[in-house]
A and B are shown apart, each in its own frame.
Chain A
Amino acid sequence: MILAPLIVLVPFAAALAGLAVGRNRLAAGRVAVIGTGLAMALAVAAAVVVWVGGPSVDEWGTIPTGWIPISVATRADGLGVTIAIMVTVVAFAVQVYSTAYMHDEPRYGSFAALISLFTAAMLLVVLADDLVVLLIGWEVMGMCSALLIGHHWERPEARSAAVKAFVVTRLGDVGMLAGIIVLADLTGSFRISALESSAVTSVTLTVGLVLVLCGVVGKSAQVPLHVWLPDAMAGPTPVSALIHAATMVAAGVFLVARLNAVYALSPVALAVLAVVASVTMVFTALAALAQDDYKRVLAWSTSSQLAYMLGALAVGGYSAGLFHLLSHAAFKALLFLGAGAIAHAVGTTMLSGMGGLRRRMPLTYTVSTLGFAALVGLPPLAGFFSKDSVLSAAEDAAVHGGPTPGWAAWLVLLAGLVTVLLTAAYAARAWLLAFRGPPHWGTAETGVARSHPALVPHDPPPAMRTPLVILAVPTVLLGVLAFVPSVVSGMLDPGDATAAEAGGISIHLGTAALSLVLVGVGAFAAFAEWAQLGRRDPAAALGSFRPLLADGLGVDRLYDSLVVRPLVGLSRLVVAGDRDVVHAYVRGAGRAARALGALPHAAQVGRVQRYVTAVLAFVVVLALAGAGAALW
């Protein structure tokens, strides 16, 4: 279907056009919005074609490599087009939002163009049928993400966050590349369709799949490669909303879902994924409890929710995991755009600089409340249905068996329940500190004077308000999909016969009730502490654990001492070696040349008589030689 490459090429063209007109803010904004809007329309059209007519796989050309050729192939199936719609909708909302949010910021033109390029890369990942083509889109996404994080490169924290994001995800991508090569060697082709049809359970397959998981862990910010996501919040808020909430980090989840049929053949790989997901869920939720920055709370929360999705996929809950992906995209992007509105209003994203915004910013308050409610999983919002479908899938796998070993499924279930409690706690804390309680904006803590004329917080301008409202709709209504599981399965159909039996969405009332109870406990704990402390930060109850949790349990420091310092020391060693060993040869060569040159130099001192002496002496020698030759 020609629509598939078009969907990729339109935002790419918008990126190029955006770079060309970059200096003209108005033109750049228009190009970006129109490009993304057009891509959205094309995605919807493609979805209709696929849902009605069935999936299609097309090859547009091959690139010979000397080994296995890379085929430029696209695959338009239920999974692909659904995610494509999600990506383009969120991207469109973010582009519209950015025209207002980035109004006074420098380099808006390149910003919008990079977001268009990113959209094109993500769509390439979603619609590719060849693992190398997918990898290309994957890496371009990583590059755009790093460039966008570092948009405010005047600030050192933005610069270092961009480098950190790039390096950490790259680290995972090395494993992923190795995995792709192993898988290609196994099946003789880079095509995903070839992989699906010819893969059989084997150790090599497991090794390849686990290596691919390295890339997933890096991109989706799971433990141990999660460290880049909280720091990536140094980028502008629309970037956080699009890339680090809804789309790029979801690419890891998408990849596992895309290869679902293959992963089902390797229980070991799934068990590894389950363990990683479980650990991440709890770990990152704990860290979110102690953060001081609103956006960082949301970042750690993203890692935690992504772990939910990966956990669902690990236990065979294909549709559940993807359902949670969709609903998370909606409510997390909503929360981030709301954070942007707050930052626009009070000048900071620190929780200590907010408070009492309920009356001043009613619209933002309303949509953010809906977002938080979806995050913790309150009915009838989408988050409730999606999260509980994940928990139910885990329960099914634990009790009735699935592609994962039983212990892994139980682990996911338990971790999921614990995380429900923790999620409720940190979400309630963030909501209370930002919107309720006494106002702290305009105080010395935020560094912005209360007398600042523009600093009476108010709801954002229309260009920022509209996307908030748009995203609130799926946040609320997406839950209705839970009632039509067959539709969901059809939507997400990966177009392969063997995966047609992938689990649909089912919700067990017992698990749902348990999770609601846990939500109540967590939220109540946060609320009670808040009230007891006189409406102050309930995280103080964590006592001495707080700094440790806020620091991400010291993982950054661990990496610093394990990796960064030895590397820096090694590089200093190399520099010293270069200077003292290699350069010594160079200098020595120079000195030797000089010394050698001093010898004939003595003949060039400009004393004429010395020259004549030399000439005459040589003539005499010649004459003697001639005479000698003549005599003999």
Chain B
Amino acid sequence: MNGVELAFVLLGAVALGSGFLVVTTTRIVHAALWLAVCLGAVAACFLLLTAELLAWVQVLIYVGAVVVLVLFALMLTRAPIGPAPGAPRRRVLLAAGVAAATGAVLLLTALAGLGDEVIDLEGAEVGGAEAIGSALFRAWVLPFEALSVLLLAALVGAIVLSRGRPDEDGR
């Protein structure tokens, strides 16, 4: 195991650990904060995999915007500060079973098919701004434009939804 792999293993452990806490902690606000940690760890993983631009985009958007949004939403829906009751035991077991099965399937498929492969990190082109930008605005320009339309729709939708009906509650 070389250094990159070791680093990756450590970062992966951080991501998985914080992810586990996100889904199991009873303190809801803490869950949001652990999500931020998890997303940060994933960004670091991206760095290790030579996806630089992506790593920073991840930090900017996910950790910067999405987590903040989530925290706002928790505040506005009066999420309890202290521990909140969890799901009934039966459901937890059932969900754990399904999740374990899903994970098992994915692992088996991945490792059975691709377990021996090696990523050549030295010869890979670094995914910097220039590389990603030229790919984005040449080969991927059409989906890019479509994406901007999608963002517009989401924006408009969010405004409409959050406005409510003026005659109902006057807000």
Could you tell me which A residues sit within 8 Å of B by CB distance? 609, 613, 616-617, 619-620, 623-624, 627
Is B70 in the interface zone, CB < 8 Å from A? Answer: no
What are 12 A-B pairs with beta-carbon distances under 8 A? A609-B91, A613-B94, A613-B95, A613-B98, A616-B98, A617-B101, A619-B102, A620-B98, A620-B101, A620-B102, A624-B101, A627-B108
A616 to B97, CA, bound (A): 11
Nearest chain-B residue to A631 (Cβ)?
B112
A45 to B109, CA, bound (A): 111
Is B105 in the interface zone, CB < 8 Å from A? Answer: yes
Residues of A within 8 A of B108 (CB): 627
How many whole Å from B133's CB to the nearest CB in chain A?
A: 37
- B interface residues, how many (CB within 8 angstroms): 9
Where chain B touches its partner, the secondary structure class is helix
Residues of B within 8 A of A609 (CB): 91, 95
How many whole Å from A143's CB to the nearest CB in chain B?
A: 70
Could you tell me which B residues sit within 8 Å of A by CB distance? 91, 94-95, 98, 101-102, 105, 108-109
Contact of A623 among B94, B95, B98, B105 (CB under 8 A): B105
Residues of B within 8 A of A623 (CB): 105, 109
Additional A-B contacts beyond A609-B95, A623-B105, A627-B108 (4; CB < 8 A)? A617-B98, A620-B98, A623-B109, A624-B101
Residues of A within 8 A of B91 (CB): 609
Contact of A627 among B95, B98, B101, B109 (CB under 8 A): B109
A620 near B94 with CB under 8 A, answer: no
A624 near B94 with CB under 8 A, answer: no
A613 to B98, CA, bound (A): 7
How many whole Å from A50's CB to the nearest CB in chain B?
A: 96
A624 near B105 with CB under 8 A, answer: yes
B105 near A627 with CB under 8 A, answer: yes
Residues of A within 8 A of B98 (CB): 613, 616-617, 620
Residues of B within 8 A of A617 (CB): 98, 101
Residues of A within 8 A of B95 (CB): 609, 613
Residues of A within 8 A of B101 (CB): 617, 620, 624
Nearest chain-B residue to A614 (Cβ)?
B98
Residues of A within 8 A of B105 (CB): 620, 623-624, 627
Instruction: With a 10 A CB-CB cut-off, give which of A620, A623, A627 has the most chain B CB atoms.
Output: A620
Residues of B within 8 A of A620 (CB): 98, 101-102, 105
Known: A627-B108, A627-B109. A616 touches B94 (CB 8 A): no
How many whole Å from A603's CB to the nearest CB in chain B?
A: 13
Residues of B within 8 A of A627 (CB): 105, 108-109
Residues of B within 8 A of A619 (CB): 102
Nearest chain-B residue to A622 (Cβ)?
B105
A83 to B130, CA, bound (A): 125
How many whole Å from A357's CB to the nearest CB in chain B?
A: 89
Nearest chain-B residue to A615 (Cβ)?
B98
Nearest chain-A residue to B102 (Cβ)?
A620
How many whole Å from B103's CB to the nearest CB in chain A?
A: 10
A617 to B102, CA, bound (A): 8
Residues of B within 8 A of A613 (CB): 94-95, 98
Closest 6 A/B residue pairs (Cβ) = A620-B101, A623-B105, A617-B98, A616-B98, A620-B102, A620-B105
